[in-house]
Each structure stands twice: as structure tokens, then as C-alpha cells.
Structure 1
Amino acid sequence: MSNAKGKGKEVEPLPGPSSGSANPAASLSSLWAYLLPALNHIVKSPTNDPHCKKAPSIDMVFYSGIHTACYNYFTSQSENKANTPAARANGEVASGNDLYEQLDKYFLETAREIMLGVPQDDTALVDYIVPCFNRYSAGALSVNRLLNYVNRHYVRRAVDEDRGWLRLNDIVESVAKSLSAEDSRDKISELLKEKRVDELKKWGYKADGSGETLAAAEASAEAASAPDRIISVASLAHRRFRTEVFEPLLAVPVIKGPKPKKKIPKANGAPPPIPKGRLARSVKELLESKGGDEEERARLAKDLATALRLVGIRTDHALRKRLDKFVATA
């Protein structure tokens, strides 16, 4: 994914594969072979527009074909699973975990490709990461719409089965303190809802806010979750960008060798600075450098702040706080 300066022509919609006898819903391998060209086109097509926030499209026939293939695949999987004795005994009819894991692997490998291209020079880091994330995120949101059936059929069911970003075990201890043996199921349900709202407030949700703030807070909470949590396709992509790109760049380097017995203060009495991660150093250079294009500086800071929110970096993280403060006053 190029991030060179300038704006090029829009990428043409990708046509579907030529029709053949193969049924893309016959197996995971055949479905994935059918999906992969579309995913690569949407997520990885190169662009020379550094402000790119729109993913390339695929033509409507291919788009509809993917919807149909996913529907047929999930339907056949559910029917096959329901026909096994173990599934009938347990009432299991849903499937789709194999495709979901394949998508997770795809986003992981794509994020690692971006990480491999990170420049060695810290001063160039923000200029590289921001266009890469904008392009990747635009692709992720487009894939989320394309594979909406995965969200509706698999992710929603997984959340209903307590496998989502927030699980009963995560909140039961705090809720249990407010319960008594006489409490009704409705009161328990209400307490669980209140706890969920409390969690979403950590991601910017305000109880009197709009549906957009709720969706944004939940998307951040999903992306911040552990890899074993089942979340929407877009959040799945953002989570992998966090684990494979942002977290390594935010990590504070470990100083090798023996530690000094005593900390040596600076001449003015201030303690020596704590080593910061590469991204923090790059942001410091961006925000404190003199001269240059102020409008471009503000745009980079705003886009990076948005990226950190989308991938689930917490609001109290020092770098997020610094960027949010700068954006608010820019």
C-alpha cells in the first residue's frame, strides 16, 4: 500500500471471477479462494493518495455473488452440523468459526506486512503510519459491509452465547455485590446492563448521547478486547492493527545491561527522562517541531488520534491524552 504524495485516479471496480462449475460454498477452501481476490482488492490495492479513506469497490455482480456464497456456506454448515448426533443432543446448529478465524488470520498478516514497511527513522513514522492506517481501516469497513452476513449470522450468535467482547464472567463479581437471594431475573438483567454502560463510558460513551457515540464506544471496546473474543469484522481488523502495529510501536524499549545502582538526576534536579516508545518519540517530533505546514501537522495529529481510538488504545493512555489535547486546541 503506497503512501506517496499526490492523488491518482480511482481504482476500477473489480469484476467477479469467470463463471465455472465450482461451487464457492462447497467448502472453506473454495469459499476463501472466491473471497480472497475481493479482499485483496478492497484492503490492499495500492494508492498514491495519502489522504485515502475510501476503499476500492468490486462490481455489483461480484458483490452479490459473495453475499450468496456466504449465505449458502453458512446454511450448509449449519445443516451439516445439525445432522450430527452430538449437535442434535446439544441443540447446536450454528457454525462459521472456521471462516471467522480465516479472516482474523488475513488481517493479522496484512497488519504485519504494514509493520515490515515501518521506516527506521522515527521522524518519518507518523507520516508512514497515518496513511497506512487510513487505507487499511477504509478497507476493513468496506469488508465489514461486504461480509455483513458473518456479523449477523456468526458474531451476533456468539455474543448471545456470551463469547463477545464483554462476558458475564468479566462483570459478575462487581454485579454480585449488589445482589441478594431475593432479587428477580429482571433486576439481575438490569444490573448487567448498567455495568455494560459503565464499561462503554470508559470508551467515550455518554448515557444521554446519540446512537453514534454508542456505536463508536462499542467499536473501540471490541478492538481493545483479547484475541479470543468474538467481535464484528471491522473491529477484528482494527484489533489486529493494534496488536501487530501500534502496540509494538508504543512499547517502551528495554535497556540492556546492568541497571545503575542510583538514578543520576539532571543538573537542574529533574530526573532523567524515561525512554519512550517509537511512536511517542515520533509524535513528540511532530508536535514540537518548528515551522512546516501547520495544517498538515493538525491533520496528521487528528488522524492518528482517531486511529488510536479505533484500535482500542485506552483514553487514559499518555499518547492518546497528548494527541486529544493537541487536536482540541489546534
Structure 2
Amino acid sequence: MSASSSKGKGKELATASPLPGPSSGSANPAASLSALWAYLLPALNHIVKSPTNTPDKAPAIDIGFYAGIHTACYNYFTSQSETKSSAQARTAEPSGTDLYEQLDKYYIDAAREVILGAPQDDSTLIHYIVPCFNRFSAGAMSVNRLLNYINRHYVRRAQDEDKGWLRLNDVLESVAKTITADDSREKISERLKEKRTDELKQWGYKPDGSGATMASAEACAEAASPPDRIISVSSLAHRRFRTEVFEPLLAVPVVKGTKAKNKKIPKATKTTGIPLPKGRLARAVKELLESKGGDEEERVRLVRDLAAALRLVGVRPDHPLRKRLDRFLQNV
């Protein structure tokens, strides 16, 4: 393909019309989960997966389709609540659980498509992963706005019921050490808030406003949580990008030829000179940082975007690869 035709195609992608909604019919998209999902899926695929010339901005859908999805989600949640008796409401899962789990499965599949398309050559891995993540994340943020009713109706309720990213049991042990029998409920609640703030500080939050905002830090903390925690729709997508893409790429390969009873990786020492094996992403970063020549501005951009991606998907700040990327950026 010639350069001119490539530019023309890129321009065409960037100015493509918003995705129209399905033709109106008698089917009610809020009648069942399968009906609602069939209604949502074209919009999700368009927003998350469609090719675009602007990977930091997800493709749009028609305003009528957008409004229709809001209405369908509202009607689906409402109908679920109304069909449950008071006894069922106390024992059954909250309305929207099935839709939330279906969305989680969707993000698993979407993230796996990314890892399946990854190049085998470490030298091109970061050039592939960074734009893929930027595109995936832009889609996730757009879907978060589109399906915000899930956040307001389902996620917020789950968090109020101690099912969110940080649960009482997670902090009870450390908080209990500072609680006395004379402490009031308000004082205990204040200690719990302090613990939550301490957790957010690990993700860059600073109460004086000099660091990341609380919302930004909490999004990272949500993505870092285990898969059983109920989190916002955007963090749900980022968490799956971590579990399905980054974690496999960060995994250290098992050393071949070792017996089952002795699978420990040998430590590198000055005397043995045995190098520690590295995961694919660590090898790719090493090659990128140590490469000579090339476009320095592009290299810095890739490192900065990769560092931001690892943070956003919930890779811990003390991870060796995150620390190496941060050190590089501090010296730029």
C-alpha cells in the first residue's frame, strides 16, 4: 500500500460516522440477559475493537443508540428488581450481577485477543503492546461512560456491602492494633479511612494535591485487586488486561531440565555467572533501554506509556520492572 493511500485510509478511519443502532423491531432488549447482551455487543465491539486512526480515542456510536443502551440497562435492572419477592431479594444476588459478569468475560476475551496477536520477537513487543493498550484503555473508558448505570446501581451498592476493592478484612488486622475498647464507632471508622488513604498513597495519591488525584489512585488500586472484587467498569477492563496480557508477559519462565523436587531458579552470583531468566516483557524493556541509536524521543514515549499502562492496570509500584522504568524516566 502506498503512503498516500495509507494516509487516505487513516483519514477515513478517523472521520468514520458513528455506529448506528440496530433497526427497530418488536424485540425488547431488556427482556432477558441474552436479549440485552445481543443489543449491547455491536456497540462494545465497535468501541473496544474497531480499527481507528486515533488509538487514544474510541470510535463513537450514534446518539440514539447511546440513549437506547442507557434505557435498556435501566429497564433491565428495574425489571430484575421488580420480579423478585421480598424474600428472594434478601437471598438472591443483586440485580445486575449477571450483566457485570458477562462484561467481565467480554474483557477477558478481548484481552486474550491482544496477547494472541503479540509478536514473537522481543524487539517489537513493546511497539505492539503500547498502542494495543492505549486503544483498549480508550475503549474501556468509553464503555465506562456508556454503562455508567452499572457503576451507579450495581458497583456502588456492592462497595457499600463490603464487596469492593478494599474490604474490611483486608485492613482489620492492621487497624485492630490501633483500636482500644474505649474507641467509639466514629473513631474506628476514621481509622479505616486512614488505612484506605495509606493504600491509595501507594498509587501516587497525596492529600496535599501534589500527586495523583484520589480518583486516579483508586482506579489503579481497583485494577490491582483480585478478580472477585466488584470494581468500576473501566477498572474491570484494566484488571483483565493485567491478568490476561501483562501477567503472562511478566511471568518468569520455568528453567528446563530441573527435577520436580528442585524447581528453584538458581541465583545469579559473581562466581557462577548464571543469569536469572526474565519474562518476555522484562527482556523487551532491557533491549529497548539498552539499544543504541534510533529515535530517542520515540523510545522515551514508549517507556513513559508502558510505565503508565503498568500502573493503570494495577502492577504494584515495587515490581522490579516498574522500578526500572521509573528510574529511566527520572533521568530523562
Query: TM-score, length-normalised on structure 1?
Result: 0.91
The one-letter code sitting in structure 1 at the alignment partner of 2:83 is N
Correspondence 1:274-313 to 2 at 5 A: 274-313=276-315
- 1:97-246 to 2 correspondences below 5 Å: 97-209=97-209, 213-246=213-246
Aligned to 1:252: 252
Partner of 2:78: 75
1:25 paired residue number: 30
The amino acid of 1:228's aligned partner reads: D
Q: Is the Cα contact below 8 Å between 1:122 and 1:282 reproduced in 2? A: yes
1:15 aligns to what?
Answer: 20
Separation in structure 1 between the aligned mates of residue 96 and residue 265 of structure 2, nearest angstrom: 57
Cα deviation, residue 85, structure 1: 2.9
Match of 1:43 among 37, 40, 48: 48
**Where does residue 327 of structure 1 map in the other structure?**
329
CA distance, structure 1, for counterparts of residue 93 and residue 129 of structure 2: 42
CA deviations over 1:52-75 (Å, ceiling 9, x no partner): 200000010000000011011111
Give, in whole Å, the separation in 2 of the partners of 1:210 and 1:183.
33
Pair 1:265–1:58, CA change in 2 (3 A):
closer
Does residue 1:318 correspond to 2:323, yes or no?
no
Q: Percent identity?
A: 73
Contact 2:47 2:143 in 1 (8 A): yes
Tell me, in whole angstroms, the C-alpha distance in 2 between the residues paired with 1:288 and 1:303.
18
SS class of match (1:20)? coil
In the alignment, does 2:39 pair up with 1:34? yes
Aligned residues of 1:315 and 1:321 also touching (Cα < 8 A): yes
Tell me, in whole angstroms, the C-alpha distance in 1 between the residues paired with 2:116 and 2:61.
Answer: 28
Between the aligned partners of 1:265 and 1:226, the Cα distance in structure 2 is: 32
**8 Å contact from structure 1 (residues 79, 93) kept in 2:** no
Judged with a 3 Å threshold, the aligned counterparts in structure 2 of structure 1 residues 191 and 135 are, in CA distance, closer, same or farther, namely same
Q: Which residue of 2 aligns with 1:272?
A: 274
Question: For the aligned residues, what is the CA RMSD?
Answer: 2.3
- Structure 1, residues 217-238: CA drift from partner, whole Å, max 9, x if none? 1011000000000000000000
Asked whether 1:54 is paired with 2:57, we answer: yes
One-letter identity of the residue aligned with 1:64: A
Count residues with an aligned counterpart: 320
1:222-256 deviation digits (Å, cap 9, x = unpaired)? 00000000000000000000000000000111101
Question: 1:130 touches 1:300 (CA, 8 Å); kept in 2?
Answer: yes
Following the alignment from structure 1 to structure 2, what is the Cα–Cα distance between the partners of residues 93 and 256? 46
Q: CA deviation at 1:271?
A: 3.9
How far did residue 91 of structure 1 move?
Answer: 8.4
For 2:283 and 2:115, the matched residues in 1 are separated by 17
1:145-187 alpha-carbon deviations (Å, 9 max, x no partner): 0000000000000000000000001111111111122211100
User: Structure 1 residues 264 and 217, CA, compared in 2 at 3 Å: closer, same or farther?
Assistant: closer
TM-score calculated relative to the size of structure 2: 0.91
1:13 partner letter: P
SS, match of residue 207 in structure 2: coil
- Partner of 2:20: helix, strand, or coil? coil
Q: What is the CA-CA distance between 1:295 and the residue it aligns to?
A: 1.1
Partners of 1:255 and 1:91 lie apart in 2 by 49
Q: Distance in 1 between matches of 2:30 and 2:258?
A: 59
Q: Deviations over 1:191-214 (max 9, x none)?
A: 000010111111111122279521
SS at match of 2:213: helix
CA distance in 1 between partners of 2:300 and 2:19 (Å): 35
Paired AA for residue 276 in structure 1: K
Does the Cα contact within 8 Å between 1:264 and 1:271 map onto a contact in 2?
no
1:174 is aligned with what amino acid?
Answer: S
Inter-CA distance 79–207: structure 2 relative to 1 (3 Å threshold): same
* Conservation of the 8 A alpha-carbon contact between 1:175 and 1:191: yes
